[in-house]
Structure 1
Amino acid sequence: MQSVPQIDKPTLSIVVPLFNERQHVPLLLEALSEVISTIELPAELILVDDGSTDGTWESISRQDAQIFSLRAVRLSRNFGKEGAIRVGIESAEGDAVVIMDGDLQHPPQLIVEMIRLWRDEGFEIVDTVKKERGEESLFYKFCAKAFYWLINKFSGVNLKSSSDFKLLDRKAVEALLTMRESTMFFRGMTAWLGFKHTAIPFSVPKRVAGKSSWTFRGLAKLFLDNIVSFSSVPLQIVSAVGALFLLFALGLAVQTLSLYARGEAVTGFTSVILLQLIIGSCVLLGLGVIGMYVATIYEEVKGRPRYIVSEKITRERLFKTKYSDDSLDSQQVGNIG
């Protein structure tokens, strides 16, 4: 009986979350093939289809392993980018794991420098920082700056203008996987981990095809979820506003009693009504902030899975020699219940 050759564990894993990126899939594989051919490391590519509706999965299914093993995971619905990243990281087997977007706005060529910094200089987390945000609207750029300012100011970690495009050493990956939160703020958590860390600046290139699938509603939800999941500062702000109004109320009470003791009429009906409206608005706002934290706790204690896998595809390359032309053994696994 002919023995089955062993498949060496890949040194490099590349995780790419995808949502409605059908047009980019073949372009992505072509670009990554060129990059990996220069690195000369056994590599695997993990594509995570986050509930796409435009035929992304069908496009993935038509692709073959080239100079890397190709694995794909299809989620049963859209669980969000953070969940898709988690799926890919949990599936990755490499000593180094690169996470990047599939729209080619994270330049694949930077992977070469990431690998050099990891392999030759011993960095355990190699981040990328956007020095130029490309075609993003002024409103989006403003919101991004505001978000990073808030996170940097109140969370205790410095995100700068980091992106999800980064390399993690296996040690950092294992540490990240010990965090069991249902809501994962990937950029914040990798910054919180510590380890030997460096960053590479890059300019965001134009989209090769299609348009961004992000909507204002989606960005707003991502912003709120990440702030709530990574910082308790909003609760502290509510407490600070409450303390401020308490001091104001005490001062107003002293003034009112002083006027009453002197027999002077207490005036200012309009001011009192306006003050009540302001206080009422602050109370409702504070309840809203508290409600977001309660909702987050509720989601955590329910214990639902972070994602549900619908299908998997595996196309293995046998790393018997460095990028040999030996057989490409393909295996497909589908309809996982």
Structure 2
Amino acid sequence: MKKITLVIPVFNEALAIDKHLPIIVESLTHQPHIDWHILIVDDGSTDATVTTLQVLQPTYPHLSVLCLNRNFGKEAAIYAGLQHSRHADAVIVMDSDLQHPPELIPQMVQLWTQGLQVVEGYKVERGQETWFSRWLANSFYFIFSLLSNLELKNHSDFKLLDKTVVHTYCDLPERNRFFRGMVQWMGFTSAQLPFTVPARQHGTSTWSRLKLLKYSFTAIMAFSSTLLYLVTFLGVLSFCVGLLISGIALYKKFMGSAIGGFTTVILLIFFMSSILMIALGLIGVYIAKIYDEVKCRPHYLINWRKSTMQNQQHDDAL
């Protein structure tokens, strides 16, 4: 009998988790010859999410809860869930808000049994997003594809991963992680299942535009150093512009047609200083990412007092 673990990262889902979990469990009950386990990773929720899960746990014997000490971010929660699911033959990562349709799980399992190592949900329609949110998402995917040569447009974190993929992912040493990008980069055999993102029925998203923007920068810099080369290009470009302006100024000086004033000088200083500040900023961000990596701090810390004992046993068995 195959063992499959469903990893669900959550953060402040107290208002919705008790309504969504039964629907997710229902999608698992019609799968013969599969030993299911659900691992919910609480990413340091500040509401009653953990309390609600503890109340629900007696109803669902195959449910475990892994609580992180604080909010480490979704990437850390996914990584923690995968690390504590290495015993499974396959792992499915999905959100708890039902915007990753649970009804796709049987198709994912079927494709996996046919030999595919990665089966991922692919968004053909992004649901009730505003035009601005769609524009931001499309802009990110365009820039990411341009800089990293990885096409991730409309990809999602809703994925089934074979145990080989899970072990490979967990063995990658980097700290600044981008789950869907890293899975794509590893290049295992994969298939896509199209889905339309349904409207969120309960609760609200905890992702602000500022968080998404920060997440986007982290993803791009984790997969591309092109921006550093762009800084060099801007330096060469500014040198050429400066050389051209200097040539024009000297020509007018020798021809006796130079006009007094500081407009050209001011514009040149403004142009050069702007490029220098942008260059220093980009270099500083990359250095900050390197600093995070060399510190080698753990990706997450677990609160075993809140987590279930079943999770502790799984960790001891690894």
Q: What is the TM-score when the length of structure 1 is the normalising length? A: 0.86
Report the Cα offset of residue 73 of structure 1.
Answer: 0.7
CA gap of 1:111–1:314, structure 2 versus 1, over 3 A, is: farther
- Work out whether 1:34 is the aligned partner of 2:34: no
Contact kept in structure 2, 1:37 and 1:67, CA below 8 Å: no
- Work out whether 1:12 is the aligned partner of 2:4: yes
Paired residues for 1:235-254 under 5 Å:
235-254=228-247
- Work out whether 1:109 is the aligned partner of 2:94: no
Q: Indicate which of 14, 33, 36 corresponds to 1:22.
A: 14
Q: Indicate which of 57, 65, 74 corresponds to 2:67.
A: 74
Q: Indicate which of 313, 318, 328 corresponds to 2:308.
A: 313
After TM superposition, the structure 1 stretch with the greater mean CA deviation from structure 2, 230-239 or 60-69, is: 60-69
Q: Distance in 2 between matches of 1:78 and 1:184?
A: 15
Paired residue for 1:288? 281
Report the Cα offset of residue 287 of structure 1.
Answer: 1.1
The 3-state SS of whatever aligns with 2:15 is: helix
After superposition, what is the alpha-carbon deviation per residue over 1:193-231, rounded to whole angstroms, capped at 9, x for unaligned? Answer: 101111111111111201111112211211111112221
Q: Distance in 2 between matches of 1:72 and 1:224?
A: 30
The 3-state SS of whatever aligns with 1:258 is: helix
The 3-state SS of whatever aligns with 2:250 is: helix
- Work out whether 1:190 is the aligned partner of 2:207: no
Report the Cα offset of residue 239 of structure 1.
Answer: 1.7
Paired residue for 1:326? none
Paired residue for 1:148? 141
CA gap of 1:157–1:275, structure 2 versus 1, over 3 A, is: same
Q: Distance in 2 between matches of 1:114 and 1:67?
A: 22
Q: Distance in 2 between matches of 1:94 and 1:206?
A: 31
Q: Distance in 1 between matches of 2:229 and 2:31?
A: 48
Contact kept in structure 2, 1:256 and 1:266, CA below 8 Å: no
- Work out whether 1:229 is the aligned partner of 2:253: no
One-letter amino acid of the counterpart of residue 156, structure 1: N
After TM superposition, the structure 1 stretch with the greater mean CA deviation from structure 2, 173-182 or 74-83, is: 173-182
Q: Distance in 1 between matches of 2:290 and 2:151?
A: 25
One-letter amino acid of the counterpart of residue 199, structure 1: Q
Q: Indicate which of 93, 98, 107 corresponds to 1:99.
A: 93
Q: CA RMSD in A?
A: 2.1
Contact kept in structure 1, 2:119 and 2:193, CA below 8 Å: yes
Paired residue for 1:255? 248
- Work out whether 1:159 is the aligned partner of 2:152: yes
Report the Cα offset of residue 25 of structure 1.
Answer: 2.1
Q: Distance in 2 between matches of 1:112 and 1:65?
A: 25
Q: What is the TM-score when the length of structure 2 is the normalising length? A: 0.91
Q: Percent identity?
A: 38
Q: Distance in 1 between matches of 2:66 and 2:288?
A: 29
The 3-state SS of whatever aligns with 1:181 is: coil
One-letter amino acid of the counterpart of residue 16, structure 1: I
Question: How many residues align structurally?
Answer: 310
Q: Distance in 2 between matches of 1:295 and 1:243?
A: 25
Higher helix share: 2
Contact kept in structure 1, 2:242 and 2:268, CA below 8 Å: no
Q: Distance in 2 between matches of 1:265 and 1:23?
A: 72
Q: Distance in 2 between matches of 1:313 and 1:208?
A: 28
After TM superposition, the structure 1 stretch with the greater mean CA deviation from structure 2, 235-244 or 183-192, is: 235-244
- Work out whether 1:139 is the aligned partner of 2:98: no
Contact kept in structure 2, 1:36 and 1:67, CA below 8 Å: no
